[in-house]
């Protein structure tokens, strides 16, 4: 089994230091399906836990550059690495003699605390970005800076790095890392911790604890080099430093483009054969034959027409009858054919979440959504058979469609999934008891497809651009989009388009988020 382990800042987290909802949803779907996923970070468990609280983690994680391994299920620390008394003395001496003002991490009365000299210029920027950290312990001078069981020290732009390197060496039981800050490139971090810690050691230990036989890691900065050394496979995100890219087995998408979850998705799901039709022009004769088959089936098996007529028509149209109701493991699919599994879902796409993990692991899956574009509504007197009224409705809103896509969005980027929207013209008949048109529970109704108008296939982010209106600039706000699409919920549409990677957030205009269309990669 493979263990996937990622760095957080600059790798899994976006440029604002947050976990994108899309990334969380994708990773949770992998975890629920049994994938081993963990992270290895320089953050403490307090800030790392807060920033990743949306993840339903089941695997131990590494914090403070491997000083602690934390089990999110039990809340315990299977591994702790603390400085010895002699190392603590060397630390205190090096810091005070060189007039350094680092943050010193220690267990004080059993709690994680971060001690630092208040108003230190070199810490100001970092502390302003990490407000609300309950571990903070500001001091007026060096007195108390080394209280408790010290396990870590972090210097920002140290004054005398050569001297610190001389003291904090392997011979003295220290490990150090030096790298440029992910969020403020003016700052260089110098961090020290016990030699028994480190990202490499903690990654190996978590691999051992989980029983994994392969370790795949992801990183972006110099402090990930040691983790790369422990990996069976290693990948740098597109925004990584050149040195890390040179060490990597490959370069994946950036942290802003959800590179890590996108890679894992492609890695855990084998890509099955699928041939996208060259044309989406409806076959009118075949569709008419499919309608006839559905009507005959409904008359002979049920006796009255109902909502299932549309479902069975599409089943006959898209899949040969020999493949209908095929068993896939412990599940049944609407149909199977040369292009894999077919599932027809007219509503409540959330129900597919239970079936898709197993189906996507077995074959390419096409989810077919019947979209009633044109509906002819007939009001019929059931006693006389008289047609009392006929109205025509054309649906120009995609809100229902995007609601359904949102319900299954964790699967939308899966390489084995196609969403096929079938635009239909339908006759909808309501049979009233008499001419008063009083709706009653259980009244007879029929919904019969007349014509397949067109199709839209969604295989990749580029396909979703078909829903965007003409005249939309490359950069736009939700309000600007709403003006153009009018009847469709722009917020719902953008939540799906952002998830699949059709658009990204490119900043703000006043209080409004600015979205940008993503160019197709050639």
Give residue-wise pLDDT tens across range 158-180: 999 999 999 999 999 999 989 99
Q: Which of 143, 199, 209, 205 is nearest to 175 (CA)?
A: 199
Express the helix, strand and coil content of the chain in percent, nearest 5 each. Answer: 35, 30, 35
Domain limits, CATH 1.10.10.10, in the chain: 463-522
Q: Identify which of 218, 210, 231 has the alpha carbon closest to the alpha carbon of residue 36.
A: 210
Q: Looking at the predicted structure, is the pLDDT value of residue 124 above 90?
A: no
Q: What are the angstrom distances between the C-alpha of 372 and each of 17, 272, 366, 376, 479? A: 43, 31, 19, 10, 27
Topology of domain 85-194 in CATH is 3.30.1240
Domain with CATH 3.30.1240.10 in the chain: 85-194
Position 129 confidence tier, pLDDT thresholds 50, 70, 90 = confident
Tell me the two tokens of residue 509: 């205009």
* Sequence-separated (6 or more) residues with CB below 8 Å from residue 110: none
pLDDT of residue 302: 47
Question: Of 188, 173, 260, 172, whose CA–CA distance to 223 is shortest?
Answer: 188
pLDDT in tens, 295-320: 887 766 544 434 488 999 999 999 88
Instruction: Say whether pLDDT at 358 is over 70.
Output: yes
Q: Rounded to whole angstroms, how far apart are CA atoms 505 and 517?
A: 9
Task: Domain 2-77+198-268: give its CATH code.
Answer: 3.40.50.1000
Give residue 301's pLDDT. 58
CA-to-CA separations, 503 to 138, 259, 410, in angstroms, rounded: 43, 15, 16
Q: What Cα–Cα distance (Å) separates residue 447 from each residue in 312, 315, 317, 430?
A: 12, 16, 17, 9
The tokens for 72 are 């999110």
User: In this predicted model, what pLDDT tens digit does every residue of 417-458 receive, in sequence order?
Assistant: 999 999 999 999 888 887 777 777 767 888 899 999 999 999
Q: How many Å apart are CA 324 and CA 342, to the nearest integer?
A: 9
Which regions of 351-407 does DSSP assign to beta strands (E)?
A: 365-381, 387-394
Residues of the chain with CATH 3.40.50.1000: 2-77+198-268
Instruction: Mark 188-200 as b/e (b = at least 16 C-beta within 10 Å).
Output: ebbbbbbbebbbb
Give the Cα separation of 338 and 318 in Å (integer): 11
Report residue 105's pLDDT band, with 50, 70 and 90 as the boundaries: very high
| pTM of the full structure | 0.68
Query: How high is the mean pLDDT of the chain?
Result: 90
CATH architecture entry for 463-522: Orthogonal Bundle (1.10)
């Amino acid at each position: 089994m493979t263990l996937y382990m990622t760095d957080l800042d600059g790798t899994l987290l976006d440029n604002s230091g947050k976990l994108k909802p899309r990334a969380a949803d994708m990773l949770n779907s992998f975890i629920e399906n049994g994938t081993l996923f963990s992270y290895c970070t320089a953050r403490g468990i307090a800030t790392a836990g807060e920033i990743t609280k949306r993840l339903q983690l089941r695997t131990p994680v590494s914090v403070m550059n491997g000083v602690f391994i934390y089990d999110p299920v039990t809340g315990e620390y299977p591994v702790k690495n603390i400085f010895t008394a002699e190392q603590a003395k060397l630390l205190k001496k090096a810091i005070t003699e060189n007039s350094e003002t680092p943050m010193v991490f220690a267990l004080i009365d059993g709690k994680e605390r971060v001690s630092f000299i208040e108003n230190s210029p070199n810490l100001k920027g970092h502390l302003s970005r990490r407000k609300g950290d309950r571990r903070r312990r500001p001091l007026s001078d060096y007195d108390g800076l080394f209280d408790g069981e010290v396990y870590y020290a972090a210097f920002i732009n140290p004054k005398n790095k050569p001297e610190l390197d001389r003291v904090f060496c392997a011979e003295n039981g220290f490990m150090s890392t030096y790298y440029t800050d992910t969020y403020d490139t003016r700052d260089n971090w110098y961090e020290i911790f016990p030699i028994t810690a480190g990202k490499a050691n903690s990654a190996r230990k978590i691999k051992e604890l989980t029983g994994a036989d392969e370790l795949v890691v992801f990183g972006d900065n110099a402090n990930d080099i040691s983790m790369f050394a422990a990996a069976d496979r290693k990948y740098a995100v597109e925004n990584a430093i050149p040195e890390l890219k040179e060490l990597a087995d490959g370069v994946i998408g950036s942290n802003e483009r959800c590179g890590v979850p996108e890679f894992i998705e492609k890695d855990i799901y084998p890509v099955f054969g699928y041939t996208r039709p060259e044309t989406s022009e409806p076959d009118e004769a075949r569709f008419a034959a499919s309608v006839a088959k559905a009507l005959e089936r409904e008359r002979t098996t049920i006796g009255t027409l109902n909502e299932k007529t549309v479902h069975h028509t599409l089943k006959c149209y898209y899949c040969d009858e020999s493949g209908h109701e095929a068993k896939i493991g412990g599940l049944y699919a609407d149909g199977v054919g040369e292009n894999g599994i077919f599932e027809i879902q007219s509503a409540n796409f959330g129900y597919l979440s239970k079936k898709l993990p197993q189906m996507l692991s077995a074959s390419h899956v096409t989810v077919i959504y019947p979209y009633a574009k044109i509906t002819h509504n007939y009001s019929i007197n059931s006693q006389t058979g008289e047609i009392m009224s006929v109205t025509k409705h054309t649906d120009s809103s995609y809100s229902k469609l995007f609601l359904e896509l949102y319900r299954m969005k964790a699967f939308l980027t899966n390489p084995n999934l196609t969403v096929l929207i079938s635009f239909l013209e339908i006759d909808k008949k309501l049979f009233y008891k008499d001419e008063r048109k009083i709706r009653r529970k259980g009244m007879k109704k029929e919904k019969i497809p007349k014509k397949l108008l067109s199709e839209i296939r969604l295989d990749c982010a580029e396909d979703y651009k078909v829903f965007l209106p003409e005249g939309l600039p490359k950069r736009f706000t939700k309000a600007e989009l709403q003006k153009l699409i009018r009847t469709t919920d722009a917020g719902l549409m953008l939540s799906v388009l952002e998830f699949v990677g059709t658009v990204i957030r490119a900043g703000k205009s006043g209080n409004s988020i600015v979205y940008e269309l993503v160019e197709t990669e050639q």
